[in-house]
Amino acid sequence: MEYPKRFDVCPHCGSMNRVIEQESREELAKGNIRTAEKTSVITFQTTIFDPSKGGLIAPKKFPVIISRLDICADCGALYCVELAKIEGTATPQVRRDNHPQKPPFIGQG
């Protein structure tokens, strides 16, 4: 699959009007925020890795899919407006007894 993917039209009613996108542009015009890019109702980060391969000893890279959702301003449907793929780093969490802990913390890196 190729990334990023944008979905500009509501899959339910065909509208291009989105609540958070519009509100962000208005707040940007008022000077209340510095950027209206990448605003969304919910942003999911889904890490793709195999937890059955055990704990981590050193940081490791994993693909991470980012899904941004917004609300249709006309019909109220919540839908995905953008999908992106980044590379994230899993860092082992070390307990006080110095053994790797599961699950790993997943962050951008």
Domain that holds residue 97: 5-108
Contacts of 29 (CB under 8 A, 6+ apart): none
Q: What is the pTM of this model?
A: 0.66
pLDDT band at residue 61 under the 50/70/90 scheme: confident
pLDDT at 59: 64
Q: Is the pLDDT of residue 76 over 60?
A: yes
- State the total domains in the chain: 1
Coil, helix or strand for 103?
strand
